[in-house]
Amino acid sequence: MGEEGVQQWKEILIPNQQFDSVVDLGCGVTVPYRQMLQKTGYKTLWCVDNRFSHDSQEFKEIGDHIYAINQDAFQFLEGFKDQSIDFLWASEFMEHIPPHKQQELFTLIVLKAKKYVLTFPTIKHHDFHKDWTHRPVMIPHISFLLYGDTAWEGMLTNIPEVTDIVMQRYNYKIVFRPRKMTSRARKEKLGEEADD
């Protein structure tokens, strides 16, 4: 697998807002975005990755109100009430999820998190094929695909300010914008009875 590291340009994707609970989903064992996420003023930061190895514990405090969670993303998110996560960040994570599970995971993220930003390389990204665990992200509700001078990036977000900043600062263009998923559609995807 590729090396974990911070892509500094992604700092503009993290909203400069105050959030009580923040999740870094698929954070990587070195938790490279921990410092960047501090600008959210979180009261609790949950760093989730099923590759942590802290003596088979699922849960370990690694800083002041920062917790490393050794769990599968689905298992972790299912433990939260709907809309109880203030902000969810997942950088370079969705491309490691098998395509037949990606929509299910994204639906769960939308259900559990009030705000979210997910970034991932597309198959046109210059590094995509360097990691054998990469798979194309096949989610029909992608907010947009970005392209710039050197690389293709995909992003899923429900925060318009983030979209605007990226568009202005990097002169990226929207290639695709989907229809919005309704709460009824989200619940139906999860097999729950719709109440609206």
pLDDT digits (tens, 9 = 90+) for 53-76: 755 567 788 888 999 999 999 999
The CATH number of the structural domain formed by 16-189 is 3.40.50
Q: What is the mean pLDDT of residues 15-23?
A: 93
Q: What are phi and psi of 46, to 5 degrees?
A: -100, 115
Give Cβ neighbours of residue 137 (< 8 Å, ≥ 6 apart). 94, 95, 99, 102, 120, 122, 154
pTM here is: 0.80
Q: What are phi and psi of 42, to 5 degrees?
A: -55, 150
Residue 1: its pLDDT value, please?
40
Kindly list the domain boundaries of the chain, sorted by start residue: 16-189
2 versus 37: the higher-pLDDT residue is 37
Residue 2: its pLDDT value, please?
45
Give Cβ neighbours of residue 192 (< 8 Å, ≥ 6 apart). none
Task: At 106, list the tokens.
Answer: 């994204």
Residue 150: its pLDDT value, please?
46
Residue 171: its pLDDT value, please?
60
Inter-residue contact 140 to 178 (CB < 8 Å): yes
Inter-residue contact 189 to 107 (CB < 8 Å): yes
Give per-residue pLDDT as tens, 24-53.
Answer: 999 988 899 999 999 999 999 999 998 887
Residue 196: its pLDDT value, please?
44
Give per-residue pLDDT as tens, 107-150.
Answer: 999 999 999 999 888 777 777 888 888 888 877 666 555 555 44
CA–CA distance, 34 with 96 (Å, rounded to integer): 20
Give Cβ neighbours of residue 67 (< 8 Å, ≥ 6 apart). 44, 45, 46, 47, 59, 60, 61
Residue 59: its pLDDT value, please?
72
